[in-house]
């Protein structure tokens, strides 16, 4: 009875204040540097040995940039909000997530000094299951974390083709012909890397005052 009342209480509080119930995830021990905690569509999610720092090699948005480059052949910028740098493709918010979509939780809305980014692995009953980098809990990696899309701190972005079909995963790697071997795409990768660099500098600045 006590447990039932507690669940009802948590649900009521979440509805009043606009946040979702806690996410659920498998906690995996991090074994050394460059530890691969999870893989999706052949793309690994790396973790640093210790908890996240602004100067750590592996950042959460790096996974998003690398995933879209390797799976879709598309350059995206993971700064402020996900942006496609490849002509013919845009990223739009969606309420019906699908595998390969981008999970974004802005710093101000999540009450943290930094944004968090991830890739959607699946969607069911209002929850997305994620692959992510550097989402630590007591120095353990979060694997297959489930988050409610009703959470006010969460946005989901999906890749949309402009004047062409929307790219889909189809259970494996997909590289849209329009984006493959594109010189413009290479330029997009360059600016994406520059954006990641400035984000790292900003994170370092914030941690000085954390």
Global pTM?
Answer: 0.72
Confidence check: pLDDT of 9 > 60: no
Shortest CA distance to 133 belongs to which of 32, 39, 59?
59
> What whole-number distance in Å separates Cα of residue 139 and Cα of residue 20?
24
Confidence of residue 140 (pLDDT cuts 50, 70, 90): confident
Q: If you average pLDDT over residues 35-41, what whole number do you get?
A: 93
- Domains of the chain, residue spans: 20-208
* pLDDT value of residue 31: 86
Indicate the DSSP class of residue 192. Answer: H
Indicate the DSSP class of residue 194. Answer: H
> What whole-number distance in Å separates Cα of residue 28 and Cα of residue 22?
18
* pLDDT value of residue 55: 59
The CATH number that domain 20-208 falls under is 3.90.1720
Residue 90 burial (CB < 10 Å; 0-12/13-18/19+)? Answer: middle
């Amino acid at each position: 009875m006590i447990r039932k009342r507690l669940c009802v209480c948590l649900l009521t509080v979440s509805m009043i204040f606009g946040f979702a119930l806690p996410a659920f995830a498998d906690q995996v021990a991090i074994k050394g540097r460059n530890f691969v905690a999870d893989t999706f569509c052949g793309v690994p999610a790396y973790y640093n040995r210790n908890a996240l720092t602004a100067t750590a090699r592996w950042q959460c948005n790096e996974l998003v940039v690398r995933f879209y480059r390797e799976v879709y052949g598309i350059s995206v910028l993971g700064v402020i909000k996900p942006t496609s740098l490849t002509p013919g493709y845009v990223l739009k918010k969606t309420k019906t997530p699908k595998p390969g979509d981008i999970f974004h939780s802005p710093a101000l809305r999540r009450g943290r000094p930094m944004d968090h980014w991830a890739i959607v692995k699946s969607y069911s009953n209002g929850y997305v299951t994620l692959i992510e980098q550097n989402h630590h809990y007591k120095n353990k990696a979060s694997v297959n974390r489930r988050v409610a899309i009703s959470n006010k701190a969460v946005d989901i972005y999906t890749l949309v083709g402009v004047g062409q079909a929307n790219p889909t995963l189809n259970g494996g790697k997909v590289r849209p012909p329009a984006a493959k071997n594109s010189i413009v795409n290479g330029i997009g990768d360059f600016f994406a890397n520059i954006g990641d660099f400035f984000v790292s500098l900003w994170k370092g600045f914030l941690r000085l005052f954390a």
